[in-house]
Amino acid sequence: MAKITRRNFLQFSTSLGLATGFHQLMPIATQAIGQGKNNINNDPNIIKLSISKTPFRIGKQTGTAVTVNNSLPAPLIRLKEGQLATIQVTNTLKEDTSIHWHGIILPANMDGVPGISFAGIKPNQTFTYEFPVNQAGTYWYHSHSMLQEQEGHLGAMIIDPITPDPFEYDQDYVILLSDWTFENPHSVLAKLKKMPSFYKYKRRTIAHLGEDWAWRGMRMDPVDIADVTGLTYTYLMNGLSPEANFTGIFQPGNKVRLRFINGSAMTFFDVRIPGLSMTVVQVDGQNVQPVTVDEFRIGAAETYDVIVEPQAEAYTIFAETMDRSGYARGTLAIKEGMTAPIPERRKTPVRTMVDMGHDHGDHSNHSQMNHDMPAVDHSQMNHDMPTVDHSQMNHDMPAVDHSQMNHNTTLDTTPVMHGPDHHGLGNAAVPMMVKNRLGEPGIGLENSERKVLVYTDLRSLEPWPDQRKPDRELELHLTGNMERYMWSFDSKKHSESPEIDFYYGERLRLTFVNDTMMEHPIHLHGMWMELDNGAGANKPRKHTLIVKPAEKCSVEINVDAKGKWAFHCHLLYHMHTGMMRTIVVNT
């Protein structure tokens, strides 16, 4: 065993990073070096990345991954705020590739989305990304071509700030979570198209027929949690399976910064470190007022930076999937080779009537509620479902504990009726009631004895300079038809409704209404979404936001980036089957 001190760490790790790929190195094919640039071959400021197919082994099974510099996850790219980033990407695959820098504000032609930002990187071609780095924090990068992100083309990016972080820490680790399947992802998608419930974990049996009766009447499944599950996935932490056990070594008494990144294709993880509370200091790379929690949910593409102060010898870093079909796991320990117990697995949660859009608000009002709802003529709605008999529904929900709620908000969580527009064939059903659910922890985390992070806990460290009221509002419905595994916005796939216009200079209020029964992590390229979570002037900035089933919530966007930007659900197979738009920002 060799010990590396900080002084020669960088020298060592650089060579290590390259040496690790060495014996798996495939010859880089003839590449077209960028023209018009001096010193590009020998300029040490250029980051050089090569995309190729590399064997990838977990335990006894070997598959083929799409890797960057022969490593999965891709190498950590560390930049400094204020620099000019120059990243040269060579494609040695037989198909096009691309790299999108997730969460980075940059020129539209550097955003890396084929067909929107640029033409993509053809086989044997080299593309040089160049953009000024005007932000700091934890981000990540991944392919935006085909299903390569699922094949392992993803990595972490850290941008060190010019002024030091407003929080202290002694050590720093990236915790990059991902999902790996030995199946060809195109075959996974084909199976979802043939049988959307193919990978469903723990389907409902005859034992639950009575409870599920109302669901079945609506052709809905109360355990519709995740489309692709532990039945095919191995969940990785920094590229290592739970058995391989990524280990972060800490020195007792140190504060450790953990940069959690969810680089998965289809997975929501619930992260906790039993025995250790975590202080959330950054979300999506942006400073937030510190909030200490025991557990947080991280959706695909989100990042959370936490500070922990470990006291004991070893802790398990536990990231259980939202549907409880598997977990990613690592260890935080004082020395190599230690492990801590893996916590007891939780049961697959079941959807509630709120997810279905049948929450009629505070239960004390039930007696006053007029279920006939004369204001809305249901007979004219094409509900495609039998009249809902409320008397048979199980409305018993556990008492809401107001003492744990963050009440310093002006967030309106009153349920509102969904409008009459059903949106069409691409939408299986609409929830009757939608409401703001930013203050809820999410399915499977309700009524936890632990403190779970909710979106209403997030407040940006400083108020943003632009506090204009929005100029206009745009409402987008998140829609889907599970029977045909079609996902869309307003019931239209990307191919059916390619573009949405944003106007340069406006402040836009974008309202999401999730008509589906699943959570979607919605991602906007190129611009920040300021989440209207009741924090007023301190709205937190997000590049990716989880919108819960039957939720209606809003973000505000300063439209200050010209060009075309991708906007989509970050669940890879949802994006690929239509849940995407091109945002066009013109003057």
Partner 1 sequence: MKLTKTSFGITLLISLASILPNQSAINAQELNLSQISKNIKNTADTTPANNYFSDQMILSEDNNINDQNTVGAIHELPLLTGNINQDINVTVNDLLAENISQDNHDHHNHQDHENHKNTSEPLDKPNQSDDQDHHKSNNSDEENLHLHFHDNAIYSFFLVDKFEYKTENSLHWDAVGWIGGDYQRLWLKIEGGVSLDNRAGEAEIQVLYGKLISPFWDLQLGVRYDQHYGGDHNPGRGFAVLGVRGLAPYFVEIDTALFISHEGDISARFKAEYQLPLSQKLILSPNLETNIAVQEVEEFGIGSGFNNIKLGLRLRYEISRQFAPYIGISWEKLFGDTANFAEAEGENTDHVSGVVGLKFFF
Q: Using CB under 8 A, which residues numbered 169 to 188 contact partner 1?
A: 169-174, 176
Q: Could you tell me the smallest distance in angstroms from the CB atom of residue 346 to partner 1?
A: 18
Which of 124, 183, 184, 198 binds partner 1 (CB under 8 A)? It is 198
Q: Could you tell me the smallest distance in angstroms from the CB atom of residue 576 to partner 1?
A: 5
Which of 53, 124, 125, 343 binds partner 1 (CB under 8 A)? It is 125
Q: How big is the site for partner 1, counted in residues (CB under 8 A)? A: 176
Residues 41, 90: Cα–Cα separation, whole Å? 13
Which is nearer to partner 1, 134 or 447 (by Cβ)?
134
86 binds partner 1 (CB under 8 A): yes
563 binds partner 1 (CB under 8 A): yes
Residues 561, 108: Cα–Cα separation, whole Å? 8
Which of 80, 345, 366, 450 binds partner 1 (CB under 8 A)? It is 80
Which is nearer to partner 1, 25 or 405 (by Cβ)?
25
Residues 417, 358: Cα–Cα separation, whole Å? 10
List binders of partner 1 among 319-338 (CB under 8 A): 331, 335-337
Q: Could you tell me the smallest distance in angstroms from the CB atom of residue 52 to partner 1?
A: 12
Which is nearer to partner 1, 70 or 533 (by Cβ)?
70
Which is nearer to partner 1, 86 or 352 (by Cβ)?
86
Residues 151, 72: Cα–Cα separation, whole Å? 9
Q: What is the pattern of x (binds partner 1, CB under 8 A) and - over residues 199-218?
A: ---xxxxx--x------xxx
List binders of partner 1 among 384-403 (CB under 8 A): 384-386
Q: Could you tell me the smallest distance in angstroms from the CB atom of residue 126 to partner 1?
A: 8
138 binds partner 1 (CB under 8 A): no
Q: What is the pattern of x (binds partner 1, CB under 8 A) and - over residues 440-479?
A: ----------------------x-xxx-------------
Q: What is the pattern of x (binds partner 1, CB under 8 A) and - over residues 31-70?
A: x-xxxxxxx-xx-xxxxxxx---xxxxxx-----x-x-xx
List binders of partner 1 among 234-253 (CB under 8 A): 238-241, 243-251
130 binds partner 1 (CB under 8 A): yes
Which is nearer to partner 1, 506 or 560 (by Cβ)?
560
Burial 445-456 (b: 16+ CB within 10 A, else e): beeeeebbbbbb
252 closest CA partner among 302, 313, 206, 200 = 313
Phi/psi-derived region of residue 402, left when phi > 0, alpha when psi is between -120 and 50, beta in every other case: alpha
Alpha carbon of 112 to those of 104, 142, 457, 525, 566: distances in Å?
A: 11, 9, 33, 10, 10
Give the tokens for residue 288: 């937030």
Q: Are 24 and 68 in contact (CB under 8 A)?
A: no
- 290 exposed, middle or buried (CB, 10 Å; 0-12, 13-18, 19+)? middle
Number of other residues whose CB lies within 10 A of the CB of residue 198: 17
Q: Could you tell me the smallest distance in angstroms from the CB atom of residue 375 to partner 1?
A: 25
Q: Could you tell me the smallest distance in angstroms from the CB atom of residue 295 to partner 1?
A: 24
Q: 327-333 and 246-249: which strand pairing?
A: parallel
Q: What is the 3-state secondary structure (H, E, C) of 515-543?
A: CCCCCEEEEECCCCEEECCCCHHHCCEEC
Residues 279, 302: Cα–Cα separation, whole Å? 16
Which of 93, 146, 322, 478 binds partner 1 (CB under 8 A)? It is 146
Stretch that binds partner 1, among 309-317, 439-447, 490-498, 510-518 (CB under 8 A): 490-498
263 closest CA partner among 147, 185, 178 = 178
140 binds partner 1 (CB under 8 A): no
Q: Could you tell me the smallest distance in angstroms from the CB atom of residue 335 to partner 1?
A: 8
446 closest CA partner among 397, 517, 413, 409 = 397
List binders of partner 1 among 422-441 (CB under 8 A): 425-429
